[in-house]
Amino acid sequence: MALPDDAWQTELLPGLESLYKDLHRHPELSGHEHRTAAKAARALADAGYEVTEGVGGTGVVGVLRNGGGPVVMLRADMDALPVREATGLPYASEVYATGPDGESVPVAHACGHDMHVAALAGAAALLARLRAHWSGTVLAVFQPAEELVAGARGMVEDGLFERFPRPDIVLGQHVGPLPAGMIGHREGPVMAAADMADVELFGRGGHGSRPEATVDPVLLAASVVVRLQGVVAREVPAAETAVVTVGRLQAGTKENIIPDTARLGISVRSYTPQVRRLVVDAVERIINGEAVVSGSPRPPVIAWQAAAPVLVNDVAATRAVLADLTAHFGQERLMPLPPIAASEDVGVFGEAAGVPTVFWFWGGPDAEVVTTAFLEGRHDQLPSNHSPEFAPVVQPTLTTGVEALTVAALGRLGG
């Protein structure tokens, strides 16, 4: 179903733009989204939803019942990243917070979750205004801790689908480095599974001038990092896809002291259970093997953290949503996407509820800037998600996000 008119923009957009800029200026780390959650809860309450806070930590759930019919879940994530913003925007973040290790870290919405919250707040309000045009139930879910791929599972384990209406479909979206106003879509596997490992390697410390009296965990860590690069290149079949990244290496306190330990943070991305198992096993084999070769006095400790499943768009449901988005925006504003190696935990909701998931991307950067970069072969140089310089232009990004969620929901609700 198409939107009846654009009258909503006059009344809702100014407030939504203010909300977005406020959230951007005041980001919060994963699991600490208290202020953001309060803003989301207020937006839902103002639109007439039944609101429950504190679901799975700081999660917020809004329910709008409008007679019999399907239950449609709309989801937005809320957390920010430990990144120092470098956008130069007048509403840029200057926030610092305490990170998991107790150190002060800069915080920024470098992944666009502030735009997700504002878009869902707008869609929730717009659907409330359009109650005469649909029947059923809207389940609006503001999820914490997506960046830890833990928030969705936390909400499910806190009884999301027992305490609230069980959805017939889960809809979600993510802003990304497409031209603002564009929508990117894909059927089947959309985003990779993610497995994260925290690894502690053990050596025997001593003076830097007497390495023969030590077992150097820094050298051990370096050997592991280099050897891991061969997993995808030499163990994953050429027709398959996987990524192994060492994003963190920490060791030592001074240049002339060989430390006792070193730590690594490793992420694995894959699209099938077989490749996922192959890569995880290879990572463990290499870590343990290098420790033996190095003479480590203790076996490494490998702690696998929260994981995200492969995000799979249900084919039939995706085609139906895509038809509605095409009718509303026009074919020229939609573009197919390849599989994306990044990960998302929104798929946990659909898996837990046993219902289809449909997830799409929409553009945030200035369309002219992106188009010019594409034409000149510089697209990879543009700031993308998690970059200190990433921030969507407010319009048409916000309007597109609100309308995409609303149109997709209307098409799934009863008429």
Residues 349-363 have pLDDT tens digits of: 999 999 999 999 999
Answer yes or no: is 386 a known binding residue.
Answer: yes
What pLDDT is attached to residue 288? Answer: 98
Contacts of 388 (CB under 8 A, 6+ apart): 83, 84, 85, 86, 87, 108, 110
**CA atoms of 24 and 114, how far apart (whole Å):** 6
Answer yes or no: is 174 a known binding residue.
Answer: yes
For the domain made up of 8-191+310-412, give the CATH fold.
Aminopeptidase (3.40.630)
Task: Output the average pLDDT for the chain.
Answer: 95
Residue 403 has pLDDT above 70, yes or no: yes
What pLDDT is attached to residue 374? Answer: 80
What is the rounded average pLDDT of the residues 21-34?
98
What pLDDT is attached to residue 5? Answer: 73
Strand bridging mode 242-251 / 261-270: antiparallel
Residues 141-173 have pLDDT tens digits of: 999 999 999 999 999 999 999 999 999 999 999
Number of C-beta neighbours around residue 370 at 10 A? 20
What is the rounded average pLDDT of the residues 23-34?
98
Answer yes or no: is 147 a known binding residue.
Answer: yes
Q: Does domain 198-304 have CATH number 3.30.70.360?
A: yes
Phi, psi of 238 (to 5 degrees): -60, -30
Residue ranges covered by each domain of the chain = 8-191+310-412, 198-304
Residue 1 has pLDDT above 70, yes or no: no
Q: How many residues does the chain have?
A: 415
What pLDDT is attached to residue 355? Answer: 98
What is the rounded average pLDDT of the residues 2-10?
81
Domains 8-191+310-412 and 198-304 share a fold: no
Kindly indicate the confidence band of residue 101, based on its pLDDT and cuts at 50, 70 and 90: confident
Q: Percent of the chain, pLDDT > 70?
A: 99
Residue 63 has pLDDT above 70, yes or no: yes
Answer yes or no: is 187 a known binding residue.
Answer: no
What pLDDT is attached to residue 258? Answer: 97
Radius of gyration of the chain from Cα atoms? 23
Between CA 153 and CA 53, with CA 112 as vertex, the angle to 5 degrees is 45
Alpha helices in 262-396 (DSSP H): 273-294, 315-329, 347-353, 367-375
What pLDDT is attached to residue 251? Answer: 97
Nearest alpha carbon to residue 224 among 246, 202, 206, 197: 246
Answer yes or no: is 113 a known binding residue.
Answer: yes
What is the rounded average pLDDT of the residues 259-285?
96
